[in-house]
Amino acid sequence: METNQTTLHQGRVPIYPRSVSGRYRTIKYIVLLVAYGTYFLLPWFRWERENGPDQTVLLNIIERRFYIFDLTVYAQDIFWLAGFLIIAAFLLFFVTGIAGRVFCGYFCFQTLWTDVFLLIEHIVQGERNARMKLANSAWSMKKVLLMSLTWLLWLLVAFWTGLSFTLYWDDAYNLIYQFFTGAAPFPAYATTLFLTLTTFVMAGLAREQVCTYMCPYARFQGAMFDEDTLIVSYDEPRGERSCGRCKPDKGNKQQQARVEQDIGDCIDCGYCVQVCPVGIDIRNGMQYQCVSCALCIDACNTIMKAINYPTGLIRYTSQRQLSGEKNRVFKLKNIGYGFALLIVTTLLSWSILHRTTTELRIQQIRQPLYVHLSDGSIQNRYMVKVFNKRDEEMSYKLTLQQRPGFSWEFSPSSQLTLPASKSAEIQLVVRADNPQKDGADQSVTVYMTYTENGIEKEISATSSFYFPTQGD
C-alpha cells in the first residue's frame, strides 16, 4: 500500500553568484575594505595614555573597564551601552524607512564575510559556470585540490576573524604570543574556536540561508516600509510592455524597433538572477529575501549599456516613484525617527563629554533597616563607595551634613587616598538622639571634597534615615 509523505523541509539549492562590476559593487568593496581594515587592524594600533594600557581599543573584563581611544568606560557607565543600543535602533528604523535594507546589503557582518568567502571561491575555482561544473562533477584529484584549497582559505579567514575578536580583550601583542605558545587563558582558545566555526559555517556553507531563515530582520522589515521607501525594483512596464520580454533578434536589436513592436526592454539575459547572492529573480517583484545589495542593478546596467539601451531598468526606486509621483522623504514618521535619534545622540554625547572623574554613592544597609540602641537612639548604617576615574592618585575627605541631634562615624576613616582608576568602600554609621518621629524619613547627605587640577571641588550623595514605625 502506497502512502503519501509530505516533505516539510526543502533541501538547499546551491547558489553560485556570478561576478559583476559597477557602481554598487565598487561601493560594496569600499565598505568591505574599511570594515575589514578597522576590525582586523585596530587591536594593533597603540594609543598613548598617562596611566593604563596603550592599546587603542581594549575591553578589559578583569578590571571591569573598556578603553576606547581617550575614553575609559567603567562598569558603572553601563547606561552608555543602553544609549548606544537605542541610537542603533532608531538609526536602523530611520535609515530603513527611507532607504530600505541598505544595512543588509552593505554593512551587515554576514554580507561582508560572505562577500570575502565568495571572492575566495571565485579566485580558486573560477567564474560561475566553472564552479557549477566543478560542484556537479565526480570527485577527482583536481576537485579535491580545489575544494581543499577553498576550505583552507575559508578556515584561515574564519580563524583570523575569531582571533582578532579575542585580541580586543587583552593586549594584542602579548596575547598573540601566548596564544601560539599555549600559554593563553582557556577563554581565548574557546572564543577563537567558536567564532572560527560559526564564521566558517555562516559565511561559507549557510550563506543566504542565514538571511532567509535565521535573521529576524527579513521578517519584520516590512513593518518599516511604505510607498516612499527605496527598494531595488524592476521597471515592469518598461521591461515587459504588452508583448513581454524576449532576446533581441535581427529585426529588433535596436530599442526603437522593440518599442514599435511593443516588446519590453528586458532581453531576458538572466544576468540579474545570476549575480544575486540570495538567488531570487528581482523581476518577480519585491521579495523578503532581497537584501538590497543592488548587484542586479549593476548587472542590468552593464547589459543595457552594451546594447545601447537606457540604463535604470532595475534601479533603486519606491512604489510612489514607480507610479509616476514624487517621493516624499520628509514625512512625519521619518521626522519622528530623526528627531528621536538626534535627542538620544545629543544626550549620550553630552553625558560622555561631561563625565565626572569622581563618583560618590551611598546605599543604606537594610538588614536591619534600623537599630534601636540601649540609650534610646536610633542607628542606621550605610555603605559609601568612592570611584576615582582619573589616571592619577587622588585624595578625598568625607563629611556629613550637619543636623541637630545626629551623630556619625566613618569606618575606617573619613579621609582616603585612591590610586588611579580604583574604588573604595567605607562604612558610615549615623545615630539620631531624637527617635520620637513616628515613621518619619530624614535625608542623610554625604559631602566629599577633593582637589583636581589645583581647584577644590565638592560632590554629594543622599540617602534616607529611617525611624521606627508605630508599634515597633
Query: Over 90: is that where the pLDDT of 194 sits?
Result: yes
Mean pLDDT of the chain, nearest integer: 87
Quick one: which of 123, 113, 206 has its CA closest to 159? 113
> Phi then psi for 229, rounded to 5 degrees?
-75, 135
In the predicted model, what is the mean pLDDT of residues 166-190?
A: 94
Higher pLDDT, 49 or 24: 24
Q: Are 378 and 444 in contact (CB under 8 A)?
A: no
Band of residue 432 on the pLDDT scale cut at 50, 70, 90: confident
CA 365 to chain centre: 39
pLDDT at 330 > cutoff 50: yes
Q: What is the pLDDT of residues 352-393, one digit of tens each?
A: 888 878 888 998 887 888 888 888 888 899 999 998 888 778
Q: Is a pLDDT exceeding 60 seen at residue 1?
A: no
Q: Is 425 helix (H, G, I), strand (E, B) or coil?
A: strand
Please tell me the predicted confidence (pLDDT) of residue 191.
96
Give the pLDDT confidence score for residue 200 in this predicted structure.
97
* CA dihedral (281, 286, 288, 291) positive or negative: positive
Quote the DSSP letter at residue 415: E
Confidence of residue 161 (pLDDT cuts 50, 70, 90): very high
pLDDT in tens, 257-275: 777 777 888 988 899 999 9
Average pLDDT over residues 441-456: 84
Average of pLDDT values for 27-39?
Answer: 95
What is the average per-residue pLDDT within 97-109? Answer: 90
Query: What whole-number percentage of the chain has pLDDT above 90?
Result: 44
- Which long-range contacts does 176-183 make (Cβ < 8 Å, 24+ apart)? none
In this model, does residue 439 exceed pLDDT 60? no
Segment among 144-153, 179-188, 217-226, 401-410 with least mean pLDDT: 217-226
Please list the residues that pair with 214 across neighbouring strands.
none
- Predicted pLDDT of residue 37: 94
Instruction: Report CA dihedral (2, 8, 14, 15) to the nearest 10 degrees.
Output: 130
pLDDT of 3 strictly over 60:
no
Alpha-carbon distances, residue 240 vs 233, 376, 420 (angstroms) = 14, 95, 71
- Residue whose C-alpha cell reads 558603572 in the numeric block: 76
User: What pTM does this model have?
Assistant: 0.80
Domains of the chain: residue spans and CATH: 23-223 (no CATH), 229-322 (no CATH), 358-466 (2.60.40.10)
Model confidence pLDDT, tens digit, residues 387-405: 888 877 889 999 987 777 7
Of 77-86, 106-115, 267-276, least confident by mean pLDDT is: 77-86
